[in-house]
Structure 1
Amino acid sequence: MKRRRFLQRISSILAVLGITEAEWLTFGNRYYQALAQSSPRKLALLIGINQYPENPDLSGCLTDVELQRELLIHRFGFQGSDILILTEEEASREFIQAAFLDHLGKQAKPSDVIVFHFSGYGSRVKLETSPERMQNALVPAANGSKDPQDEKIVNYILEETLLLLLRSLPTDRVTAVLDTSYYAPSTVLGLKIRALQESVEAKLAAEELDLLKQLKTQKLPSTPVVLAATSNPKQSAREGLFSGFSAGLFTYALTQYLWEFTPATTIQVALSHVENSLSKLASKQQPTLLSNQKNQYITSLLPAEFSADVQNLSPKREEALNTLPSLVAKETGGLGFPDDVKNQLLPHSSIGAEGAVSAIEEDGKTVHLWLGGLPPQVLLYYGVNSRFTLATTEQLVLRSRTGLTAKAQISKINITTPLQVGQLVQEAVRVLPRNINLTIALDTGLERIERVDATSAFAAFSRVSTVVVGEKPADYLFAKLQQTPSRYGLFSLGGELIPNTTGEVGEAVKLTVQRLAPKLSTLLAAKLWRLTENQGSSRLALKATLEIISDTSPSVVMQRETVRTFKTETSIKKSVQTRLIAPLPTPIVPIGSRMQYRVENQSDRRVYLILLGLNNNHTAIAFYSWETLQEPNTADTKPLLKEAVIAPGETLTLPQTNAASAWVISGPAFFYEQQLIFSTAPFSETLAALNTAKYSTAEQGPIGPLLNSLDVAQALLQDLHNASALKTEMNGTATDSYILDVNNWASFSFNFQVM
């Protein structure tokens, strides 16, 4: 729907808002009055607010709306005319609530699909009826409807009101996405957060309270799926700065997942993938399925026989499960979730994609692309001459890119099928520059002389650059410790202190930076191997399962598999059933657990594999496949490494399940990140780099320290480049870039928490 048309109609709606609110409450009476349509309509209401005159502006909310719109049109078959977008001053409380009536409530019928999205500030406010607790609320755009006699009145929309409004719609196929949070800490380090400080004196507008009261008296039929950016009241929804644009981390990760992965699986499987992406974007926020019913987060997703047990938990056990829902995976033995807990949205196409054709130039060979399906950490470095495949098998060659949009040309001179707007494009070749640096943002809390000293000190490292926080994309943040301002340290962009990166009390900036040399090398190495992730686009049929070994049978922690290698509808359905054993978000592994990967090669080619990662103190680790030596080891004997290889149709456990090669999780409690990388060609240069390090006999464990992580990461990219069959066709590109062919490599990311 055009904004102008909507706004022309909105004034008359607002004039009788009290009446229309009453009409609102009769939506449920129409629920049983219509049969399901053969072609259900798809309606969306998308809200994005960057500008708040009385508060600091946000940066990514309008991009969120754009991300959602492009996703809904190209991946879920929405018509642009059925998507109503309210941004900035249009997104007042009155306009948002009226849009529910006019755009959603009056048009929707049973079986229709409805999507609601909100990106903007959240806050908390007290109700006079329940002054003992704070209520979550969305902060609409400023408007002139405040009572001039009472400056304490705020025109917020209570989260409870929104949930009831969603339930009032006459269809069960309602999905809402809330990229906001409600708790604002007194100090914020790193990325912007979408939360305003609560005010104990603030009062809600009378109209909002009246609407809430009316909604509470009605029997509302719908059960919407509401996805929230955070699961803990004190977590913050953050927005990040990417390649020329800002966006909400949750919205970007969610929409990117829905572009790439198909078919849709359970909500919780989707959230597991999204949270994995959020962790790579330096945010510890945990998205969740929002519910105001006790234990629904757990019981709605568990088998019935276990749900009954949850309802009777002791208060202490109940609190533990609500705080750490991943423990449920251990309790259920990896049973997973029932089939009916699905996404409300089903993809319009049965294939995933990295983007779509958004426009075609007059020559018919140059196209504009929307690339919302590329992994966020990859987008910034996605280079010219990367290639995409159309469903008609033609390839598009990337010629330029700005943010999420790009220009490409068809690779063939004569094409049999004309290009069309809306065609999905899949990644075929990824081109990455060889000169990738680690970028450190300098916090604005540093004094001018401190920033000058830090800039000078970081400049001494050959592959490290600095920027002012918030001006350009960065990887980490250099700042003062909030508890001890006379100390400096390195932080994630989400404000988490990187272990072992703090200087001494009163130490000069330059000395602290100099201490970081080994850590900076490790962090750059991790950045490089993250750029290989391509679970969504790889054409190698592979599956990897992370397991905890027990005396009875292994317990599944998480599972990853390529999704574009299934050719038939039957195999797609089988793929969905397999993935249902995937874990809850942020799998938790107890200290002392024995772990293993179970890797299945379902392709018709032999594949080689490498495992790299960061352990719980951000030290680099790798998997070592040690060669059995003919003579006993001595202190002077250099260990030998061999390729880890899996034949077609074979399964390999990594490491082998015996006591001598056990992989045991050690403390302290923190987060692990591991990248499992496969190639159809041997990792010759990677093994050569691993062999140059001087390992002692005592370090010959299956997964151990990686001493020369940056050398190994660069060798890894070179090996993947060497495996590409296209490098001979792209000699000009090959000199300063890595060329990676999706037919020859796959890379899975595994993140879990140790407790």
Structure 2
Amino acid sequence: MGFNRRTFLQKAGFGIAALGASETLLSLLFDGSLAIPILDRYGQALAQPTQRKLALLVGINQYPQMTALGGCVTDVEMQRELLIHRFGFNDRDILTLTDSQATRRAIETGFMEHLVNQAKAGDVVVFHFSGYGSRVKRNPTSDPNNLEKWQNSFVPVDGIVPTNGVPANDLLAETLALLLLSIASSRVATILDTSHIDRVNILQGNLRVRSTSYPPAEATNSEELAFQEQLLAQISPGKPANLNIMPGLVFAAAGLSQLAMEAKWNGFTAGLFTYALTQYLWQAIPGTTVQITMSRTAQSINQLIGINQQPKLIGEKDLDSLFTDYILSNSNIGADGVITSVDSSGTTAQLWLGGLPATVLQYYGTNSLLELVNENTSQGVGVRDELKNNEQPTTNNQQLQIRTKVGLTATAEVIASNTISNYPLQVGQLVQEVVRIIPRNVTVTIALDAKLERIERVDATSAFASIHDVSSVVVAGEQSADYLFGKRRKEGSIEDILPNSSPGYGLFYIGGEPIRNTAGESGEAVKSAVSRLVPKLKTLLASKLLRLTANEGCSRLAIRADLEMIFPQEKTIAVRETRRGFLSRQPIDLASNSPELLSDVKMGKLPSLPIGSRIQFRLENYSERPIYFMLLGFQTGANAIAFYPHPPVSPLPRADNNLPVQDGAIAPGETMTIPDPAATFDWALAGLPGLWELQLICSPFPFNQAMAKLQEGIISTVKGERIDNLFNSLDVVQGILQDLHQGSGVSSDRIGTISDSYALDVKAWATLSFIYQVV
């Protein structure tokens, strides 16, 4: 770089971020001859504000000596948009290093100059890394009491393939711990979307893995070790620092023995963890805890890929106290996106839609409506504005209609509203969903395992082409897919856990985890296997369609649901409520209302229930209208179950005669237990271990078509209000979507002709998702 590193770090302790750190600091990182003159000229002229928010975001896709990744730069974009538009970071206080910029020296120098030398006590500091992780043999003198032979490392763009004893050029985990210890503020959050598993295949199912495929390095370079010594001398002269625990709060994409993976969606690729985390934070509200955030992030990941990747919270910071320090300082309501640019006419805007779930965003249709977030949104939108008698919804906010969408961005135009906004569109204005357009012809996309022989792939492609519910078959790793078709193998698969399971063809989650009860016998022909899987594919498509209705963060119905274990012990398992349906009150306080729940979500894991447990739901209607519900579940092995209000509910009538309670509805202010305590059966968890997914769909309008389809499906096990092994789950789900579409009553005058789509108003329904493990 042309200058002494120690001198640079000592002289560079000035506040250059106020100039625009992303540009100024980059010039220092890549042109050493300019470093000292620039700092001398401007460094002392700029006063530092108190309680700043500083961030360093690193994302590397293009590794010259390794297989390229696809989503790490997108991760940086997602994190940056979140920090600026949702949580009040100044764009000048965010330094991004991507691809060729992200050398080891640039990352460490950027960390020192942008974070360590600028942060003061009370400032908020965020560091994010997306890229390859690896391991390096521990320096025997760095910690003589530590028996671990290896330490984790983060591979920069100039990382070296560890062959023939060549020292690694990685950023060591110990170095990162020292850098974090060097920050004056205790309000530090680190996000690591990487993993450190040796010798893995980069392609895992239909996903890419963020661990290098090479063996760990036997040594690191001397410059990295010298930099560690400098940091250690400044932090704790004369006494060793604990480098085994990173200070502050650390969000890790996966556990120690798990892989962090990235996925392709339509138009973009991103880390599973970063997308799930940032998407949830877009919609989060004050009072949300970091534990719940990580638990919900894990749910989003596991819903897509199974339990092969579960996020983890690490670090020494108290987990309950730092969350509001990291993000929620001045925002009372969530958002689904933000305006990033406005054209010269002031009527067309570019939107960033990072607040929508990835599964929804893939199918988010043209003509969908969003509205600007302002004071009227938090005060004038809520349960009193729910749809009544199919009347058209009203709003005091300017509305935007989606015209085109590519990946995470969309172009939208202002449409006429009942009350015209008094101010023009502006960059940085938040938007919330109003009407969601979903195509009716959604199908399942299947990826073919790369390990299949060519003739197997040919036969599978031909067999899937004849199935109406499968739209396309793709080669694993090349395009977005919902599930994987392949053959179970002994090596590193679930066969190690279930030695008696079949080695035949079957379905897998996109991360490669088998879907149980889908594998056939050894020797089965490919076309026979595909034909056998048709009923399972219909159930999986039904599950996919229901996920497209997920709207806990944006629904305006005031609904809360608790999932409870009643045997072998009484315990709250999960709590869900519509965040924008309760704008007049504080969100759930788990510490006081459900203290037993905190232990289960403490490390961001999914709830686990033993086989044989008995469970129930407690559904509360806080709205001012009767609410209908349906509860559909998808068990391990792609089997469907259903609960519905039968016999009809008969709560006490309300004094307000304008709000009659109809059969099968939950009255305003009432609570329902599912199954009914008076029922002659218990809901016991039976069958094989694995993931269960339950979707609770609520609406002020009856589910007439769905109930009709449900009655047609009662040819299997029926126990009161429960149907086991629902064979026509796809018909039932399509009936639900049609009921929600009709209940929304969105006219073509507002959104245009959409005969091939469902138009769902956020005031007309709420879908709450529950994911848990049966063990």
On whether the aligned pair clears a TM of 0.5, the verdict is yes
**SS of equivalent residue, structure 1 residue 571:** coil
| Counterpart AA for 2:701 | A
From 262, 271, 292, give the equivalent of 1:248: 271
By how many angstroms is 1:372 displaced? 0.3
Task: Tell whether the 8 Å contact from 2:675 to 2:721 is kept in structure 1 after alignment.
Answer: no
Partner of 2:490: 483
Partner of 2:3: none
| Counterpart AA for 1:61 | C
| Counterpart AA for 1:110 | A
From 279, 298, 302, give the equivalent of 2:302: 279
Map of 1:405-424 to 2, 5 A cutoff?
405-412=409-416, 415-424=421-430
Q: Please tell me whether residue 492 in structure 1 is matched to residue 492 in structure 2.
A: no
By how many angstroms is 1:698 displaced? 5.7
From 441, 444, 466, give the equivalent of 1:460: 466
From 184, 187, 191, give the equivalent of 1:170: 184
| Counterpart AA for 1:610 | M
Inter-CA distance 38–655: structure 2 relative to 1 (3 Å threshold): farther
Q: Please tell me whether residue 399 in structure 1 is matched to residue 415 in structure 2.
A: no
**SS of equivalent residue, structure 2 residue 484:** strand
1:605-652, CA deviations, whole angstroms, 9 ceiling, x for partnerless residues?
111100012112221111143339xxxxxxxxxxxxx96421111111
1: distance between equivalents of 2:29 and 2:687? Answer: 59
Inter-CA distance 517–479: structure 2 relative to 1 (3 Å threshold): same
How high is the sequence identity, in percent, across the aligned residues? 46
From 424, 439, 450, give the equivalent of 2:445: 439
1:312-336, CA deviations, whole angstroms, 9 ceiling, x for partnerless residues?
xxxxxxxxxxxxxxxxxxxxxxxxx
Map of 1:698-713 to 2, 5 A cutoff?
699-700=719-720, 702=722, 704-713=724-733
1: distance between equivalents of 2:750 and 2:270? Answer: 34
| Counterpart AA for 1:7 | L
| Counterpart AA for 2:610 | P
By how many angstroms is 1:68 displaced? 0.6
By how many angstroms is 1:178 displaced? 0.2
Q: Please tell me whether residue 196 in structure 1 is matched to residue 212 in structure 2.
A: yes
1:137-161, CA deviations, whole angstroms, 9 ceiling, x for partnerless residues?
11111169x999x861111112232
1:496-542, CA deviations, whole angstroms, 9 ceiling, x for partnerless residues?
11112223222221111111111111100110011111000000111
By how many angstroms is 1:122 displaced? 0.3
Q: How many residue pairs get matched?
A: 679
Task: Tell whether the 8 Å contact from 2:136 to 2:151 is kept in structure 1 after alignment.
Answer: yes
Task: Tell whether the 8 Å contact from 1:125 to 1:199 is kept in structure 2 after alignment.
Answer: no
Task: Tell whether the 8 Å contact from 2:359 to 2:547 is kept in structure 1 after alignment.
Answer: yes
Q: Please tell me whether residue 389 in structure 1 is matched to residue 400 in structure 2.
A: no
1:192-242, CA deviations, whole angstroms, 9 ceiling, x for partnerless residues?
1100145355311112223334545634799411100012x2210000001
**Which deviates more from structure 2 when the two are superposed, residues 581-590 or residues 479-488?**
479-488
Partner of 1:605: 625
2: distance between equivalents of 1:487 and 1:7? Answer: 54
From 725, 731, 753, give the equivalent of 1:733: 753
Inter-CA distance 283–178: structure 2 relative to 1 (3 Å threshold): farther
From 568, 571, 593, give the equivalent of 2:586: 571
Partner of 2:495: none
| Counterpart AA for 1:120 | G
Partner of 2:612: 592
Map of 1:109-508 to 2, 5 A cutoff?
109-129=120-140, 133-142=149-158, 152-184=166-198, 186-187=200-201, 188-197=204-213, 199-216=215-232, 218-219=235-236, 223-231=247-255, 233-284=256-307, 285-291=309-315, 344-392=326-374, 393-412=397-416, 415-464=421-470, 465-483=472-490, 487-508=504-525
Partner of 1:30: none
Task: Tell whether the 8 Å contact from 1:75 to 1:347 is kept in structure 2 after alignment.
Answer: no
| Counterpart AA for 2:551 | N
1: distance between equivalents of 2:398 and 2:619? Answer: 33
Task: Tell whether the 8 Å contact from 1:175 to 1:344 is kept in structure 2 after alignment.
Answer: yes
Inter-CA distance 165–692: structure 2 relative to 1 (3 Å threshold): same
Inter-CA distance 731–115: structure 2 relative to 1 (3 Å threshold): closer
Partner of 1:67: 78
Task: Tell whether the 8 Å contact from 1:727 to 1:739 is kept in structure 2 after alignment.
Answer: no
Q: Please tell me whether residue 55 in structure 1 is matched to residue 66 in structure 2.
A: yes
By how many angstroms is 1:186 displaced? 4.0
**SS of equivalent residue, structure 2 residue 586:** helix
**SS of equivalent residue, structure 2 residue 745:** coil
Inter-CA distance 591–551: structure 2 relative to 1 (3 Å threshold): closer
From 522, 530, 533, give the equivalent of 2:539: 522
From 36, 46, 50, give the equivalent of 2:57: 46
1: distance between equivalents of 2:97 and 2:751? Answer: 48
By how many angstroms is 1:486 displaced? 7.8
By how many angstroms is 1:565 displaced? 2.3
| Counterpart AA for 1:396 | L
By how many angstroms is 1:15 displaced? 12
**SS of equivalent residue, structure 1 residue 241:** strand
2: distance between equivalents of 1:244 and 1:403? Answer: 4
1:138-190, CA deviations, whole angstroms, 9 ceiling, x for partnerless residues?
1111169x999x86111111223212211210111111100000014544333
Task: Tell whether the 8 Å contact from 1:369 to 1:408 is kept in structure 2 after alignment.
Answer: yes
Q: Structure 1: which 5+ residue stretches go unaligned?
A: 21-34, 302-337, 629-641
**Which deviates more from structure 2 when the two are superposed, residues 121-130 or residues 167-176?**
121-130
**SS of equivalent residue, structure 1 residue 678:** strand
Task: Tell whether the 8 Å contact from 2:647 to 2:721 is kept in structure 1 after alignment.
Answer: no
By how many angstroms is 1:419 displaced? 1.1
Task: Tell whether the 8 Å contact from 1:596 to 1:653 is kept in structure 2 after alignment.
Answer: yes
1:49-107, CA deviations, whole angstroms, 9 ceiling, x for partnerless residues?
01112211100000000001111110011111111111112111111111111111121
Query: Cα RMSD between the aligned structures?
Result: 3.0
1: distance between equivalents of 2:733 and 2:52? Answer: 49
**SS of equivalent residue, structure 2 residue 665:** strand
